[in-house]
Chain A
C-alpha cells in the first residue's frame, strides 16, 4: 500500500515571499501520478498541480511549481509571490494508475499567508 507523508502540519509565510511545502511518499510502483490539492476555508478541494512520474521535467502552473525527486520519492510544492488567497490547507496526493486510480492523501499542511 502507498503512503504519503507531509511532515509540516503548519507553515506561515509573508505575503510576496516564497514558501515550499514538503511531501514524501512510499511506493514500489514505477508508473504513477502525484498531485497537490488546495482546500481553502470554503472546504472546496481545488487541484493545484499534477506531475506524471515518467516525466523528468518538473510541472509548473503560474506561481506554483514542484520539485519532483523520483529516486528520493519526494514531491515538494513551491509557491512564489505568495498571496493572501493562498491561505489554505494543502494536500499532497498519490495515484497508482495501475491500481484503480484512487488517491491516497497526505495529512495536509496548513499554510497561513501573512500581510
Chain B
C-alpha cells in the first residue's frame, strides 16, 4: 500500500482565501484523523471519522474550519477564510479497528501539508 496520501505538500495562500487540504487513507482503514502541529500548541486532534461519519469535531478551532469524508478513500479539510494564525502543518492519519482491515490500532500518518497564510 502507498500509505496515507496528502495533497498538497505545501500551500502558501493569502489571508482571506479558501484552502482545501486533501487526504487519501490507507485502503481498508475505517478511522481517519486530522491533526494540526504548531510550535506553540504541539500536535492536536482536530476531528476524526469512523466509517466516513464525523465522530468528534471538538478540536476544530472555529467555524472557519470544516471537514468532510464523502467516501472511504477521500477526506478534505477546508479553511474559509484563512488567517495567518492557521499557518501550521496539517496531518491526516488512518487506522484500522475492523476485522476486514486488520485490528491494529496504530495510526499511520501522511507526510503532512505545510500551510502558510500570509
Q: Are A103 and B45 in contact (CB under 8 A)?
A: yes
| Cβ of B89 under 8 Å from chain A | yes
Q: Is the CB of A43 within 8 A of B42?
A: no
For chain B, residues 3 to 51, give those with C-beta under 8 angstroms from any C-beta of chain A.
31, 33, 42-45, 48
Q: Is A45 an interface residue (CB 8 A)?
A: yes
B56–A50 contact, CB under 8 A? no
Collect the chain A residues with CB atoms within 8 Å of residue B89's CB: 43
Known contacts A43-B89, A45-B109; A102 and B42 CB within 8 A of each other: no
Interface size of A as a range: 20 to 34
Specify the main secondary structure of chain B where it touches its partner: strand
Given contacts A43-B89, A108-B42, contact A101 B109 (CB under 8 A): no
- A64: interface (CB < 8 Å): no
Complex CA–CA separation, A79 to B45 (angstroms): 28
Say whether B112 contacts A43, CB under 8 Å: yes
B95 proximal to A (CB < 8 A): yes
Contact of A35 among B31, B106, B112 (CB under 8 A): B106
* Contact with B45, one of A37, A43, A102 (Cβ below 8 angstroms): A102
A residues in contact with B43, CB < 8 Å: 91, 103, 105, 108
Interchain Cβ contacts under 8 Å between A and B, 12 examples: A43-B89, A43-B112, A44-B109, A44-B111, A45-B109, A45-B112, A91-B43, A101-B95, A103-B33, A105-B43, A106-B42, A108-B43
| Residues of B bordering A, CB below 8 Å | 31, 33, 42-45, 48, 55-56, 89, 91, 93, 95, 97, 105-109, 111-112, 114
